[in-house]
Amino acid sequence: MRKIYLFDTTLRDGEQTPGVNLNTQEKVEIALQLERVGIDRIEAGFPASSPGEVISVSAVSRAIKHASIVGLSRCREQDIDAAREALKEAADPTLHLFLATSPIHRKHKLRMEKHQVLETAEAAIRYARRFFDKIEFSPEDGGRTELDFLCEVVAMAVRAGASVVNIPDTVGYLTPMEYGNIFKVVKQTVPGIEKIQLSCHCHDDLGMATANSLAAVLNGADQVEGTFNGIGERAGNTALEEIALALETRQDFFQAKSGLHLIEIARTSRLVSRLTGILVPANKAIVGANAFSHESGIHQDGVLKEETTYEIISPLTIGLKDSKLVLGKLSGRHAFREKLIDLGYNLDEERVNVAFAKFKDLADKKKDVTDVDIRALIEEKLIPVPESYILDTFQVLCGNHSVPTATIRILTAEGSMIEEVAIGNGSVDAIYKAIDRAIGESVELQDYTIQSVTDGKDALGEVTVMLAQNGISVKGRGVSTDILEASARAYVDSINRLIDKRNTNDGAKYESVTLI
Ligand code: KIV
Ligand code: ZN
């Protein structure tokens, strides 16, 4: 059976999703989980793009022991040097060089002739070979590049010493037949192609990223690039969980498999969604909330009689446990701790105490506390930041004939107490205005989303808020059975994250909170 390598770019292309801005700790946490799920190569970032990126790629390089850590670089010596610096502690570093090759990019973006593209890329690969054993080269917009020129570029990369050549469909333009054909022709015509690995990298602009990647695999690609939950620039990248499950479920057809530990998929997807703040659509293949639910009576009847009637994948395969152990008001600390371990959390005593207090508080308001509730409580502050401000109390006066008025009391890290009152267009607006007055930060609310964590009137509400200030944007989260409280907590959390981002030494030592 052929092995298909999985190259994850959640931390690089995925971070290019509008509104996503991960800090170093969040990137390390995701990288650790990517290693647990069995990703072969983790693209940690683009070191030359900012000093913060060098710090986070270095932190990921230190934390990861088995997967290869990849740094992206333009075909410029300064970029390659920045990547060398960022990857110097990686156990298995790979440099990912790219240069656009399509006629549109050559003419309008690079203003280069074909021979200049070839010379620039070759010089960069040869320079990089002095420092890196493993180099991946990507002809950007390869999918829209003239096929004969693309073959020339691939041949140059092979001669110059690349170990992987990736052919990206940068703009998600191609159909599976066209994309597959590129791999077929490259394989058949480029001299020395057997010495390197071929990789595919697709974007989902026309909803064909997974199909295109699988077409590439059928035509000889050794590696698939993508992200978890399919996040990424514009419509996103190939969703790697879809590739892994397609190869697994249809091994008979593809005669190939990935090395992914499928049982870790649900957890990886959840972590990526929580930390990026990008919710997974309910109907998303494999990891959407509805991916394993059966609504129609005929389907339910079939599944009850025999699961395989309507279920081609078992939810257990991706680690969705059907836990029968529901905690409640009378559950003690021991049962709670066991549950945390069962759910895969590795919390220190202090965090267990905080989580247990939150759990008890919830159990007073909600009869059954499910795994999903407990995860929401823990993951409200999965990567905690120093709390410059703490929400102490709030009160809201509202009604369909009154002006919403919020009174808020905030405690500061220095121990002082600030109280403020504000009116607003709605209850949440009034709360946010009162917090703004109390804290005195000038922030822009860019996004606000609310969802219920479970079903029922007593369900926890989860609010995610995106705030921006001077070009920095952050996401904060708040969870409560009261949606106004969840809204207030999310806002204060975002402000704390904003302040932390301004102040941090982003290279801090970091310990994972999730278990193997
Ligand atoms: O989509 C693309 O072309 C890329 C390259 C940098 C590989 O992300
Ligand atoms: Zn891309």
Q: What is the CATH number of the domain that holds 395?
A: 3.30.160.270
Check whether 494 has a pLDDT greater than 80: yes
Q: What is the pLDDT of residue 515?
A: 52
Tell me the Ramachandran region of residue 339: left when phi exceeds 0, alpha when psi lies from -120 to 50, beta otherwise: alpha
Is it the case that residue 506 has pLDDT exceeding 60?
Answer: no
pLDDT at 198: 98
Same domain, 106 and 183: yes
229 CA distance to ligand 2 centroid (A)?
15
Question: What pTM does this model have?
Answer: 0.89
Can you give the residue range of the structural domain that contains 343?
Answer: 333-379
Tens digit of each residue's pLDDT (9 = 90 or more) over 193-242: 999 999 999 999 999 999 999 999 999 999 999 999 999 999 999 999 99
What's the DSSP call for residue 21? -
Residue 423 domain-assigned (yes or no): yes
> Greater confidence, 245 or 383?
245
Kindly tell me if the per-residue pLDDT of 508 is higher than 50: no
Predicted confidence at residue 322, as pLDDT, reads 63
Question: How does pLDDT run across 378-398, given as a tens digit for each residue?
Answer: 988 888 889 999 999 999 999
**Predicted pLDDT at 323:** 64
Q: Give the integer Cα–Cα distance in Å for 204 and 100.
A: 19
Residue 30 located in a structural domain:
yes
pLDDT at 301: 77
Residue 499 has pLDDT above 70, yes or no: yes
10 Å CB burial of residue 147 (0-12, 13-18, 19+) is middle
Task: Report how far apart the first and last C-alpha atoms of the chain are (Å, whole number).
Answer: 27
Over the stretch 90-122, which tens digit does the pLDDT of each residue have?
999 999 999 999 999 999 999 999 999 999 999
User: 282 in helix, strand or coil?
Assistant: coil
Claim to verify: residue 370 and residue 434 sit in the same structural domain? no
Confidence check: pLDDT of 187 > 90: yes
Pinpoint the alpha helices (H) of 48-175: 51-63, 77-87, 103-104, 114-129, 147-160
- Going from the Cα of 140 to the center of ligand 1, the distance in angstroms, rounded, reads 6
Q: Are 155 and 189 in contact (CB under 8 A)?
A: no
In this predicted model, which residue has the larger pLDDT, 467 or 296? 467
Shared domain check, 308 and 239: no
Residue reference for tokens 């092995």: 3
Residues whose CB is less than 8 angstroms from the CB of residue 174 and which lie 6 or more positions away in sequence, other chains included: 143, 182, 208, 212
pLDDT at 507: 41
Domains contained in the chain, number: 4
3-class SS of residue 467:
strand
Residues 375 and 448 in one domain: no
Q: Is the pLDDT of residue 423 over 50?
A: yes
Q: Which atom in ligand 1 lies closest to the alpha carbon of residue 142?
A: 3
When pLDDT is averaged across residues 166-191 and rounded to a whole number, the result is 98
Task: Identify which of 49, 94, 98 to mutate to test ligand 1's pocket (most ligand atoms within 8 A of the CB).
Answer: 98
Higher pLDDT: 35 or 332? It is 35
Mean pLDDT of 368-375: 88
Residue whose entry in the numeric block shows the structure tokens 């990517």: 34
Q: How many helices (H) and strands (E) does the chain have?
A: 17, 15
Same-domain status, 375 and 492: no
Q: Say how far apart CA 216 and CA 260 lie, in whole Å.
A: 19
Mean pLDDT computed over every residue of the chain: 93
**Which of 141-145, 172-176, 428-432, 472-476 is predicted least confidently?**
472-476
Task: Measure 380 CA to ligand 2 centroid, in angstroms.
Answer: 30
Is pLDDT at 509 greater than 50 in this prediction?
A: no
Atom of ligand 1 nearest to the CA of 72: 6
Q: How confident is the model at residue 381, as a pLDDT?
A: 80
Has residue 516 got a pLDDT over 50? no
> Would 324 be classed as within a structural domain?
no
> What percentage of the chain exceeds 90 in pLDDT?
77
Residue 262 Cα to ligand 2 midpoint, Å, equals: 24
Judgement on whether residues 355 and 444 belong to the same structural domain of the protein: no
